Amino acid sequence: MLAPSSRRRWGRLQLQTLRAFIAHDGRALTSELAGWCWPELVLVGGKPSWWQLKSQARAAKSIGACRVRRAGREWLWRLSRECMEKPL
């Protein structure tokens, strides 16, 4: 878990990933995270490229999320409770 002061150094993907976890009660599929991280791409029917998914996974891991299990072709991610309770 990161110290609260390091949250100021978070980037766009980390904040969007955190918002996605908060909106989905701490659990989200890879496609749900993509909808929050890359809305301009997903809303027009596109799919994120491999490097965008890799960046999204790195952002999720950096805020304390972990992959729980596979759900078809994508991963189910879970965020720890203490990260969700702290204010942005």
- Over residues 49-59, the mean pLDDT reads 93
- d(CA 59, CA 54) in angstroms, rounded, equals 9
Cβ atoms within 10 Å, residue 88: 8
Query: Is-contact 56 37, C-beta < 8 A?
Result: yes
Name the pLDDT band for 14 (thresholds 50, 70, 90): very high
Q: Coil, strand or helix: which one is 39? A: helix
Among candidate residues 88, 82, 69, 62, the one with its CA nearest the CA of residue 28? 69
Name the pLDDT band for 3 (thresholds 50, 70, 90): low
Name the pLDDT band for 59 (thresholds 50, 70, 90): very high
Class for the domain spanning 11-85: mainly alpha
